[in-house]
Amino acid sequence: MTDSALVELAFSMLPRAYCPYSHFPVGAALLCDDGSVFTGCNVENAAFGSSFCAERTALVKAISEGRRDGFVKLAIAGNSDDYCWPCGSCRQMLYEFAPELEVLIAKGDHAYVSLPLKELLPYGFGPDYLK
């Protein structure tokens, strides 16, 4: 799958977002090494701490379907004028399962940049630190 196709899959999730508080829909598409893709959108909650970001939704869907590794690329899309950067919680959760992940970050005009997760979360804390 091309990077632009993965970004468009992330954009296709925006209408599914549940964001009555922020009014900021976000979509994500997580590509695995076997070509499978898991999508997600943000799901807000009146108790804000209980909300889920699109990135974590896609990752949790993959994990709940039995995936634990093989995550190679994640696209994140929002309708903003600036790039839709992942929050710290998402960066940490992604690092747990895919420290070598490539992240495609898009803005509303569908332009995107590509960065390695390790650049977004330098010196990340992962499972190896607990051994």
Q: 8 an active-site residue?
A: no
Q: Is the pLDDT of residue 120 over 90?
A: yes
**pLDDT band for position 126 (cuts 50, 70, 90):** confident
State yes or no: pLDDT of 127 exceeds 90: no
Query: H/E/C letters for each residue in the chain?
Result: CCHHHHHHHHHHCHHHCECCCCCCCEEEEEEECCCCEEEEECECCCCHHHCECHHHHHHHHHHHCCCCCCEEEEEEEECCCCCCCCCHHHHHHHHHHCCCCEEEEECCCCCEEEEEHHHHCCCCCCHHHHC
Name the catalytic one among 8, 55, 65, 100: 55
pLDDT at residue 42, rounded to an integer:
98
pLDDT > 90 fraction of the chain, expressed in percent and rounded: 92
The whole model's pTM is what?
0.95
Whole-number pLDDT of residue 34: 97
